[in-house]
Structure 1
Amino acid sequence: MEHCCSDSHHETKEKNHSEHDEHNHSSQEGKSILNLFLPSLISLLILLYAIFLDHFIKPDWFLGWFRVVWYIVAYIPVGIPVLKESLESILKGDIFSEFFLMSIATIGAFAIGEFPEGVAVMLFYSVGEVFQSLAVKRAKANIKSLLDERPDQVTIINGNIPQTIKAENVKIGDVIQLKPGEKLALDGILISDGNSFNTAALTGESKPDTKTKGDIVLAGMINLNTVSLIEVNTLYSDSKLSKILELVQNATAQKAPTELFIRKFAKIYTPIVVFLAIAICFLPYFFVSDYIFRVWLYKALIFLVISCPCALVISIPLGYFGGIGAGSKNGILFKGSNFLDTIAKIKNVVMDKTGTMTEGVFMVQEVHFKPEFNKDEILKLVNVLENNSTHPVATAIHHFVGEIDHHLKLENIEEIAGKGLKATYEGKQLLVGNFKLMDKFGISYDTDISKVVYTVIAVAFDKKFVGYLTIADTIKADAEKAINQLKITGIKTTMLSGDKDAVVQYVAQKLGIRNAFGDLLPEDKVEKVKEIKARKESVAFVGDGVNDAPVIAISDVGIAMGGLGSDATIETADIVIQDDKPSKIPMAIKIGKETKKIVWENIILAFGVKAIVLILGAGGLATMWEAVFADVGVALLSILNAVRIQRMKF
């Protein structure tokens, strides 16, 4: 009773501590946002008071040098950081940056006495920069939360004594004690009885995942029930979560063609804009009779502000980053923004069967043994023999028959490659495998296996055919939904498998896949994908990322199922679906399409508004205030549009 009270007090204390930490984090986040906006707020207040004095009160003392100094003071909080960035860019050899454009535009405005406009341009630009920072921060939040919440310390059991050590110091073979509510820091094997875990950090799904003794549990999973013991089988740096974090953090390094084009475009476009602005300022001197330098300088400055490419430079990478973040939030990892573009154009999805559209977990369906044989005795012998194999078929038989009967002693156990197993029991031969094994040893049988839909395991004992077991894989719960969604979007589906053709056709019929091919070797799969590509159609291949590496290599996009089960999938594929759900295939395509749509909306918005205001400016109808909207206003609208994808439900 005393122990129970102690645990309860400990849990309450932990909860209060967690709530206190959450409150502190929220408070710190609020302060951080306020600090970002503080320079702009100070500048805005000083500017508004100056405008109020200029246009309403009009005091005698607010003139001359005092007025100039006042506007300079209003300019300093927002102007100094930009001037500093401009200088640093110039020193690095990047003269024509957006910071340089803003600097010369605002300093020019001051030079011709347009002080309010000079301050306003820099103020709105700075506010745009803050919104950009917040948008990027929001896009990174899902990834960063995984990194921040990964436990630094763990409790290991050392000689029955709990000991807290750094997670990075844990060795393979150490046993971790994981209490309810705690997050696992390293991958391992559950050595306690069954338990439920929250896998949201890895899969994006908060639905509890029940694990039984001997199952793999991964870093990032949260214990939901009783205290569990986990034997570590992977180092801290090699855990699945570490690999996922590394993958998503590096994703922005792979740029989409649109993003790369805008970067190159900005490098050429910006210097052209600067030279055109110089031309607008000075060339009219030779062609206009009543040339006034101040008027044409003002027009040149308006042109500069309107032409600044920051709306494009900011919003397009942000749009792609938002797409990567949206995918990560839903358990879909894009290795780069270029794959968001590619998957948006996919016309064919080619998929493997086992482990992709089916669970990859085989179960015994039927046992067809001849009546003259003792069914239970033969099954026990088969179970003992299959215990020597790691094949999924062996696991299925073990689950069906039950515990191994260790009283049964088999001798001369031998594996026949590609056919099955052979052994001797009490001097009599036992064969378990496919019908090719029966043919090899001259065992006659009267079964027409072409009519059997499932995978067939033949058994012979004492040189006589006993019969066969049928073993089948289970179709994934959301596989049919995934195929239907792909059909709705006009995407063709094809299934390729090395499994028996009858099994492949059966699964394809169940799911509504028109094109399906079985009995294929890896090179046959490659040929099938080449046939599709020969029609000039884009192909995404979905597989396990290991056996199907040749097919992934020639596909436009390689999608790996089994992100939670195989390290190789993370290395091989362009996109990784962490929770193995087929429904994430159409979701990944939708995220790609929405990202591309948002990026093009921003491009059209930026160029469209800038073109209209430039025409107005050329006709003398646009002032610096319209120029501010064409630049900063469009940038803000583009940012708000770009972050939209993170709020979408797919």
Structure 2
Amino acid sequence: MSNKKIVLEDTTQGCCGSCESTSEKSKFSIYLPALFSFLMLTIGLIIDNFLKTSFFRGWYRIGWYSLAYLPVGYPVLMLAIKNILKGSFFTEFFLMSIAAIGAFAIGEYPEGVAVMLFYAVGELFQESAVKSAKSNIKALLDVRPDIASVWRDGAYLQVHPEDVKVGELIQIKTGERIPLDGKLISGKAELNTSALTGESKPLIVKKGETVLSGSINLNGVIEAETTKIFNESSVARIIELVQNASSRKAKTELFIRKFAKVYTPFVVISATLLTFIPYFIIDNYVFSEWLYRALIFLVISCPCALVISVPLGYFGGLGAASKKGILFKGASYLDEITKINTLVMDKTGTVTKGVFKVQEIETNGTEKEEFLNYLVALEKKSTHPIARAIAEGISATQNFSTKEIKEISGMGLTGVVNNKKVLVGNAGLLDKYKVEFPASIHSIVDTVLLVAIDGLYAGFVTVADELKEDANKTILELKKFGINKIVMLSGDKDTITQKVAQDLGISEAKGELMPEDKLNEVEELKKQLGRKVAFVGDGINDAPVLAVSDVGIAMGGLGSDVAIETADIVIQTDQLSRILTGIRIGRSTRNVVWQNIGLAFGVKALVLILGTVGMATMWGAVFADVGVALLAILNAVRLQKMKWV
């Protein structure tokens, strides 16, 4: 396994840029500068206000407060200088530095120290909040197994998961994590999948079913045949999705960052004008008095609360969602999911379990045993849920050779089996190859797979699926959430599609659609004024629609890799109800972000006005600035503490 260190991007860089991670410093060394400055400031204030000794004057007093200032002020001052040298002049570090230096220049030494001290305290609170927000996401990194027990040369050997190939046999003991995705070879397994799906209930997996990497084996020794290499496994995919999510900013977050770049120079210019303009319009102008007001203006104008809390809010939302098995591929989709009013969904594997069972087999002019051998030989080459059901539900007596396999999206499979051209798929596939079949096939309600051998109709197999347990409740709740239009689009038979839609209370449904037909339907919906369309699917044929919809949602457990890669949101649990959870988290994140924006602007505007007319002190400005930042941080952290259904 690679030893590369995986680092999550810090979406809160800005005010927190001066802070180092608590994992890189001891707690003592982190808090020591602030503690030293606090003690020095406290002692200085006691001497100033209560002892009033003649000793504590002049250079002694300046020296004392300078010592109190340096531990918290020097790092910020250095960052301001470094940014200026890089061409980034107007930063929050620059604002805080000139405010503190200005306070010293007019003899307000305690206030100059207080500016930097409380700024440093705010940084520590912020760093703690960022660490907490990241913890849900970083916890995913802990699910990466370090060792795989693989069967080689007559024994199980301990190797890195990256060294295991597809098709090898691995063993997982009780309490161990499954290192790679695979197919269960032993009888039955009880797995803890909470790290991947957020589902606390153990998952029972039967022989032949899929086991996902990162799951914990709860009972007995199990064996599995690997189906993917480590870098393509579920756990690796989840980690990559979550890591990349933090780099895709929401529009609100991008706006705040752009706003801060304009806002900061505006504040500096305004403070300069506030210092000197009164000279020309006021008779009893006192420079130190107006400079003091300008310094208050600078302190309270620091955009830290915004720069910190907005991305922190989105980061908290991403973490809360990932904890419930919902992977947003960017903060922007936390916003987008709150705007959807139209939901289009696939049927198989989305509202149904996608676990099919063979119901009926009928042959035409071919021995049943031979018919099944041809059928299974071709279907076991496909990953489609129906193909898997047939391959696992029917036992072939002979292992026919296959070649020239071709999957025709929305229709079925073609290939050369035992030197004969075989077609397995829906009526559209046989029509495409001009193979005649009985018209009575169209009246069968269940899903039908037609088989043709060397251009002649050979028979059919019917399979049946069932609704997911949470499907009915989810559809009802979605309507309460303001999603006023729900449409089902499926490549399955129209009779089946209409029946499933009726059972779910969906009034608009269409079946027997090709991928391009689904695409056209969604594009037509998007053209309607005010429509914000989300599409939910899981198959390869859903990928084009997932890409073109405003919000693409893929079922990540049974879903194809293509669908998962194309989607904007991945539901790792395959539970339809997690769409509701995703909307709830998105709405709560949006509310927290806008609450923080309103809080920051409201308090700052009030203190700015009071400071400009001389009714606020530097102390008030410091407490207001730090207080707003802390309240915004605490508000953002709430997202991680909320209970999500």
**Shorter-normalised TM range:** 0.7 to 0.9
Please give the per-residue CA displacement for 1:120-140, whole angstroms capped at 9, x wherever unaligned: 121111111112111111111
Counterparts of 1:260-275 in structure 2, within 5 Å, are 260-275=254-269
Corresponding residue number in structure 2 for 1:478: 470
Q: Does residue 514 of structure 2 align to residue 521 of structure 1?
A: yes
Q: Does residue 74 of structure 2 align to residue 80 of structure 1?
A: yes
Per the TM alignment, residue 369 of structure 1 is displaced from its structure 2 partner at its CA by 9.9
Q: Does residue 376 of structure 2 align to residue 387 of structure 1?
A: yes
Q: Report the 3-state secondary structure (helix = DSSP H, G, I; strand = E; otherwise coil) of the residue aligned with 1:59.
A: coil
CA distance in 1, matches of 2:525, 2:146: 49
Q: Does residue 214 of structure 2 align to residue 220 of structure 1?
A: yes
Q: Report the 3-state secondary structure (helix = DSSP H, G, I; strand = E; otherwise coil) of the residue aligned with 1:361.
A: coil
Please give the per-residue CA displacement for 1:132-157, whole angstroms capped at 9, x wherever unaligned: 11111111112212213423333333
- For 1:201, give the aligned amino acid: A
Q: Does residue 445 of structure 2 align to residue 456 of structure 1?
A: no
CA distance in 2, matches of 1:214, 1:88: 60
Q: Does residue 347 of structure 2 align to residue 359 of structure 1?
A: no
**Residue segments in structure 2 that go unaligned for 5+ positions in a row:** 1-21
CA 222–129 in structure 1, closer or farther in 2 if over 3 Å, else same: same
Q: Does residue 540 of structure 2 align to residue 546 of structure 1?
A: yes
Counterparts of 1:51-66 in structure 2, within 5 Å, are 51-66=45-60
Per the TM alignment, residue 467 of structure 1 is displaced from its structure 2 partner at its CA by 9.0
Do 1:542 and 1:560's aligned partners in 2 also have CA atoms closer than 8 Å? yes
CA 393–591 in structure 1, closer or farther in 2 if over 3 Å, else same: closer
Corresponding residue number in structure 1 for 2:126: 132
Corresponding residue number in structure 1 for 2:288: 294
Corresponding residue number in structure 1 for 2:241: 247
CA distance in 2, matches of 1:592, 1:252: 15
Counterparts of 1:67-466 in structure 2, within 5 Å, are 67-365=61-359, 380=369, 382-390=371-379, 392-393=385-386, 395-397=388-390, 403-405=395-397, 447=440, 449-450=442-443, 452-456=444-448
CA 325–224 in structure 1, closer or farther in 2 if over 3 Å, else same: same
Do 2:357 and 2:465's aligned partners in 1 also have CA atoms closer than 8 Å? yes
Per the TM alignment, residue 608 of structure 1 is displaced from its structure 2 partner at its CA by 0.6
Do 2:378 and 2:417's aligned partners in 1 also have CA atoms closer than 8 Å? no
CA distance in 2, matches of 1:483, 1:108: 62
Do 1:569 and 1:576's aligned partners in 2 also have CA atoms closer than 8 Å? no
Per the TM alignment, residue 444 of structure 1 is displaced from its structure 2 partner at its CA by 5.6
CA 368–35 in structure 1, closer or farther in 2 if over 3 Å, else same: same
Do 1:382 and 1:432's aligned partners in 2 also have CA atoms closer than 8 Å? no
Match of 1:534 among 524, 527, 538: 527
Please give the per-residue CA displacement for 1:497-530, whole angstroms capped at 9, x wherever unaligned: 1111111111111111121111111222122112
Corresponding residue number in structure 1 for 2:486: 493
Do 2:538 and 2:559's aligned partners in 1 also have CA atoms closer than 8 Å? no
Q: Report the 3-state secondary structure (helix = DSSP H, G, I; strand = E; otherwise coil) of the residue aligned with 2:150.
A: strand
- For 2:263, give the aligned amino acid: Y
CA 415–288 in structure 1, closer or farther in 2 if over 3 Å, else same: closer
CA distance in 2, matches of 1:637, 1:442: 72
Corresponding residue number in structure 2 for 1:613: 607
Do 2:543 and 2:562's aligned partners in 1 also have CA atoms closer than 8 Å? no
- For 2:105, give the aligned amino acid: A
Per the TM alignment, residue 33 of structure 1 is displaced from its structure 2 partner at its CA by 4.5
User: Structure 1 length as normaliser, TM-score?
Assistant: 0.85
Per the TM alignment, residue 265 of structure 1 is displaced from its structure 2 partner at its CA by 0.9
Q: Which moved more, 1:551-560 or 1:632-641?
A: 551-560
- For 2:510, give the aligned amino acid: F
Corresponding residue number in structure 1 for 2:583: 589
CA distance in 1, matches of 2:436, 2:305: 76
- For 2:525, give the aligned amino acid: I
CA distance in 2, matches of 1:320, 1:535: 30
CA 353–244 in structure 1, closer or farther in 2 if over 3 Å, else same: same
Do 2:189 and 2:204's aligned partners in 1 also have CA atoms closer than 8 Å? yes
Corresponding residue number in structure 2 for 1:579: 573
Q: Percent identity?
A: 55
Per the TM alignment, residue 236 of structure 1 is displaced from its structure 2 partner at its CA by 2.8
Please give the per-residue CA displacement for 1:419-461, whole angstroms capped at 9, x wherever unaligned: 8999999xxxx9987668699776667x4743x4322357999
Per the TM alignment, residue 601 of structure 1 is displaced from its structure 2 partner at its CA by 0.7
CA distance in 2, matches of 1:169, 1:409: 32
Corresponding residue number in structure 1 for 2:13: none
Per the TM alignment, residue 269 of structure 1 is displaced from its structure 2 partner at its CA by 0.9
Do 1:259 and 1:316's aligned partners in 2 also have CA atoms closer than 8 Å? yes
Do 1:152 and 1:168's aligned partners in 2 also have CA atoms closer than 8 Å? no
Q: Does residue 630 of structure 2 align to residue 636 of structure 1?
A: yes
